[in-house]
């Protein structure tokens, strides 16, 4: 009997160790003034071509935005978000001191893609434009987006 328990205990330990870790949600609901809310992805770090900066994807029911500490360069219109292997969605323009890339026209499409997707590649271009450093990308996990979206819909209006 002891031998059987040892074998079962070892098998259970192996099964537990072999299990894939559960990935935590990369999205949180941020409460704003009044009953308004937005979803914030985990902040990502990347190079802007000269220094390390950050990129934060934020989602409301009417827009998707990418906020950075560095100034964006909209000149080549290649600031995009691509979910998994879907077509990339171009930004609509800049806001707030040119440190925010706005995705308003295609926000409903991006939100649906975020719900169904696993990862979003955010491609950014930063100022200064000379000497040009090209585009810089960061991946954002979409794990937990749908759950956070549903929570935001229920608790914020």
Domain for residue 13, yes or no? Answer: no
Residue 67: pLDDT over 80: yes
Q: What percent of the chain has pLDDT over 90?
A: 76
Residue 16: pLDDT over 80: no
Rounded to two decimals, what is the model's pTM? 0.83
Domain for residue 70, yes or no? Answer: yes
Cβ(68)–Cβ(55) below 8 Å: yes
Domain for residue 2, yes or no? Answer: no
pLDDT of residue 96: 87
**CATH label of the domain that carries residue 63:** 2.60.40.1880
Quote the DSSP letter at residue 72. B
Domain for residue 5, yes or no? Answer: no
Domain for residue 41, yes or no? Answer: yes
Rounded to 5°, the CA angle 12-13-17 comes to 120
Domain for residue 6, yes or no? Answer: no
Give the residue numbers spanning the domain of 43: 24-155
Q: How many domains does the chain have?
A: 1
Per-residue b/e over 104-133, b at no fewer than 16 CB within 10 Å?
Answer: eebbeebbebbeebeebebbbbbbeeeeeb
């Amino acid at each position: 009997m002891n031998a059987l328990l040892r074998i079962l205990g070892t098998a259970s330990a192996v099964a537990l160790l072999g299990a894939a870790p559960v990935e935590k949600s990369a999205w949180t609901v941020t409460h704003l003034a009044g009953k308004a809310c937005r979803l914030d992805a985990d902040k990502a770090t990347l190079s802007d071509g000269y220094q390390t900066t950050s990129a934060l994807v934020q989602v409301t029911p009417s827009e998707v935005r990418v906020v950075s500490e560095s100034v964006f360069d909209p000149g080549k219109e290649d600031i995009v978000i691509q979910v998994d292997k879907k077509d990339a969605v171009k930004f609509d323009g800049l806001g707030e001191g040119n440190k925010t890339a706005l995705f308003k026209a295609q926000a409903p499409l991006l939100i649906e893609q975020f719900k169904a997707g696993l990862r979003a590649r955010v491609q950014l271009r930063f100022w200064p434009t000379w000497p040009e450093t090209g585009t810089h990308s960061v991946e954002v996990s979409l794990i937990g987006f749908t759950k956070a979206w549903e929570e935001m819909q229920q608790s914020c209006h």
